[in-house]
């Protein structure tokens, strides 16, 4: 079978926008899925993060990660 023999009529057109959102993951470490968690925070803290719009949970996760990374002992320290 050659390329010209393939019937693409039932496949939607692949747009430039769809292509631009693609991610190539060949050879990269597998990304672990986030774990849903229920946590209590002060109401003013939550309001402040929510006031930054969409993605406030990602911002909270990034802050927690930065704190975790900062508390790890340096690789060269004994």
Distance CA 78, CA 69 (A): 17
Distance CA 3, CA 18 (A): 22
Cα–Cα nearest to 64, from 47, 33, 39: 39
Residues with Cβ within 8 Å of 77's Cβ and at least 6 positions away in sequence, in order, are none
Predicted pLDDT at 27? 81
Distance CA 10, CA 57 (A): 39
Which has more confidence, 14 or 55? 55
Predicted pLDDT at 77? 55
Question: Is pLDDT of 78 > 60?
Answer: no
Q: pLDDT, tens digit, for every residue of 19-71?
A: 888 877 788 888 888 899 999 999 999 999 999 889 999 999 999 999 999 99
State the pTM of this model: 0.53
Residue 75 pLDDT level (bands cut at 50, 70, 90)? low
């Amino acid at each position: 079978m050659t390329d010209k023999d393939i019937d693409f009529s039932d496949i939607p057109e692949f747009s430039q926008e769809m292509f631009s959102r693609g991610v190539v993951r060949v050879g990269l470490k597998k990304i672990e899925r986030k774990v849903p968690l229920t946590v209590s925070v002060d109401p003013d803290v939550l309001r402040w993060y929510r006031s930054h719009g969409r993605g406030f949970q990602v911002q909270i996760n990034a802050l927690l990660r930065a704190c975790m990374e900062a508390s790890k002992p340096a690789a060269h320290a004994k």
